[in-house]
Amino acid sequence: MASITREEALATLEDGQTKLETLLAHLTDEQLAKPSTMGGGDWSAKDMMCHVAHWNELAIESLAVWRKGEKPAIEDQWDDVDKINADNYERSKDSSPDDAWARMRDAHEAITGAIRDMDNTEWYAEAPYPTERRAWLGRLLSSITGAPKLACGHAFAHLADLEAYVLELRK
């Protein structure tokens, strides 16, 4: 993952959130909760919201651990992303659409607020533990909130499925 500035991270996170919210606003609570509408799997739009929220929550948790000078748990779990996602799905599948909206927005505000509040010295701070891949804080946070080939772009990984669902409902 290429280097990313705090400003670029914030812009990408905000853009992704805005695009998600714009599409999600077209859905009723019933449509948000309808299973098997995202990505050809079992997920509903509400489940996708909780999924995006969860990765932002993991970034916030990792930031707190990093600031204590410790290694965030996610650093040892990258090979278990499917398990992380499955565990979060099980934990949140019974959430209401209102709860999913609140969780997604709260997690977004938490990570963007934390990034906004830190300075560039912290953003580029080297890891307080041995690591080869995510050697500075901004890279760690960008990976956790990212998508393949797009730092901080996790929302973008789900936009095509969400857009397809919204368009299908408009037919």
Query: What are 58-99's pLDDT values in tens digits?
Result: 999 999 999 999 999 999 999 999 999 999 999 999 999 999
DSSP code for 26: T
Whether residue 116 contacts residue 10, with contact meaning beta carbons closer than 8 Å, is answered with: yes
Q: Tell me how far apart the alpha carbons of residues 86 and 77 are, in angstroms, rounded to a whole number.
A: 13
Angstrom distance (rounded) from CA 137 to CA 66 = 8
Q: How far apart are CA 26 and CA 90, in angstroms?
A: 26
Give the CA distances from residue 106 to residues 83, 100, 112, 170, in Å, rounded to whole numbers and listed in that order: 23, 10, 10, 29
Are 24 and 147 in contact by the 8 Å Cβ rule? The answer is no
Q: Where are the domains of the chain?
A: 6-170
Measure the CA–CA gap between 126 and 106, rounded to whole angstroms: 28
Model confidence at 24: pLDDT above 70: yes
Average pLDDT over residues 48-53: 98
Q: CA 26, CA 6: separation in Å to the nearest integer?
A: 31
Q: What is the pLDDT of residue 90?
A: 96
The structure's pTM equals: 0.96
- The predicted structure's pLDDT at residue 148: 87
Beta bridge partners of 147: 150
What span, in angstroms and rounded, lies between the C-alpha atoms of 152 and 13?
Answer: 6
- Write out pLDDT tens, residues 147-166: 988 999 999 999 999 999 99
Q: What is the pLDDT of residue 2?
A: 54
CA-wise closest residue to 89 among 98, 79, 78, 100: 100
Superfamily of segment(s) 6-170: dinb family like domain (1.20.120.450)
